[in-house]
Amino acid sequence: MDSIEFWTVCSANSIVIDRDQMTNMDRFHDELLKWNKRVNVVSRQDMENIYERHILHSLAISKFVKFPANARCIDVGTGGGFPGIPLKILFPEIRMLLVDSIAKKSKLAGMFAQHTGLRHIEAKTVRAEALADKPEYRAAFDIVLARAVAPLVQLVSWVEPLLKPATTLAFLKGGNLEEEIAEAQKKFPALQIQEHHIDLNGAPWFKEQEKKLLVCRISTL
């Protein structure tokens, strides 16, 4: 999928990207291609599929989750900036914190974020669970994001201290999630989970690979 096809597929799925945003998406794509040769944040076999399998995959969250202006968001295990950077480009009014425990990945994500020219986006080298030790991050986030980072029960355990009462957790995953969901609900009885199948016009890969989004909330903290 090239840049034009990516924009066309986004439009076909009501993901509206203006010219400046598309310029940022293209810049992010090209920088990732360049730097991935030095720091492997995307599989080498997947380099021709960045628009579809990484950027569009990230933007698919917007089909199921609302991103209000000034919403404080955290992307856990961001790697090269997914899904946080594409979503920040799509919703420039949100505040985005990218975190990864691997320094070379978080530094790369930080560089990509800086090159978007957008305000209120930063990257930190830290484990998500360690943020709970800092008062400025406790009960601070409106939206928590992650893509194929860890089992659901582990993700919720890591971020629980960071959640507001109405925080939305949006986790990109794939395959059969029945056992994973059951395990999380056993440990967190107040956890409400919606499982969405990602199926976008013009991008059959998501349905073929059983790509899904788990949208979760904890009703009582």
Query: How does pLDDT run across 120-136, given as a tens digit for each residue?
Result: 999 999 999 999 999 99
Q: How many domains does the chain have?
A: 1
Residue 154 lies in domain: 3-218
Predicted confidence at residue 220, as pLDDT, reads: 58
* Residue 8: partners with Cβ closer than 8 Å, 6 or more residues away: 202
* Structure-block tokens of residue 140: 């601070």
Which pTM was predicted?
0.95
Residue 221, pLDDT score: 45
Average pLDDT value over all residues in the chain: 94
**Which CA distances in Å does 121 have to 74, 85, 89, 114, 146?**
10, 8, 10, 8, 16
* Nearest to 112, CA basis, from 11, 199, 9, 31: 31
CATH number at residue 176: 3.40.50.150
Per-residue pLDDT of 158-174, as tens digits, reads 999 999 989 999 999 99
Instruction: Please give the average per-residue pLDDT across 139-164, as a whole number.
Output: 95
